[in-house]
Amino acid sequence: MELRLLGRVDYVPTYEAMQAFTAERQPDTPNQLWLCEHPPVFTQGLAGQADHVLMPGDIPVVQTNRGGQVTYHGPGQVMAYPLVNLQRGGYFVKEYVYKLEESVIRTLAHFGVTGHRVAGAPGIYVRLDDPFGHAALVGPAPAHDPFKGLGKISALGIKVSRHCTYHGAALNVAMDLSPFERINPCGYAGLKTVDLSTIGVITTWEEVAQVLAHQLTARL
């Protein structure tokens, strides 16, 4: 897998470049992993509803063809875009999503943080009261508040075209989290969003990007 470190790049040109790469790639085109961060932007997935964008203000809202609903991207967040031929890799979309989530979980573990999956809610979550504890989430979440006691630290949204993936995963490192209050993150009203900094992990964007790249390339 070829690794491309793009630095801070605007969202729309990056989105268009992923589409072009995927449309033009051949059966033997090497897979790539793009790592970057974006200036402030809200992105809507195919399932996104306009009323989940509460108050965008001066932050642009971009409609995309990825799965999922609205989320926010901004400085201090690692964006990982794997451009992978699933057919050549021999696995299906569900397994691919699992690999993405597992890569994020292992990256968090590198920094001592325990990441959790929540059934039916793609992405990775941490316990707000004990992000470093190893206790598993036990039992079904309360129907009225499936994220009780949890904060979302990583969002996932993918697109598959001709067996090839683009879009990917966002991992929050040290961000201005206030723009998340202008939306219902991933369509869930009141869902708290956190980053590594707010839960007490002091690191750099570059270190997290390096660890996440290693975890993704090992699995994909």
Alpha-carbon torsion (124, 69, 168, 29), positive or negative = positive
Q: What span, in angstroms and rounded, lies between the C-alpha atoms of 90 and 97?
A: 14
186 annotated active-site: yes
Structure tokens that stand for 67 in this block: 């799965």
**Terminus-to-terminus CA distance in the chain, angstroms?**
8
Kindly give, in sequence order, each residue whose CB lies less than 8 Å from that of residue 39, ignoring residues fewer than 6 positions away: 8, 10, 11, 74, 75
Spot the catalytic one: 186, 196, 211, 212. Answer: 186
Amino acid at 138: V
- Letter for the amino acid at 126? V
Active site residues: 186
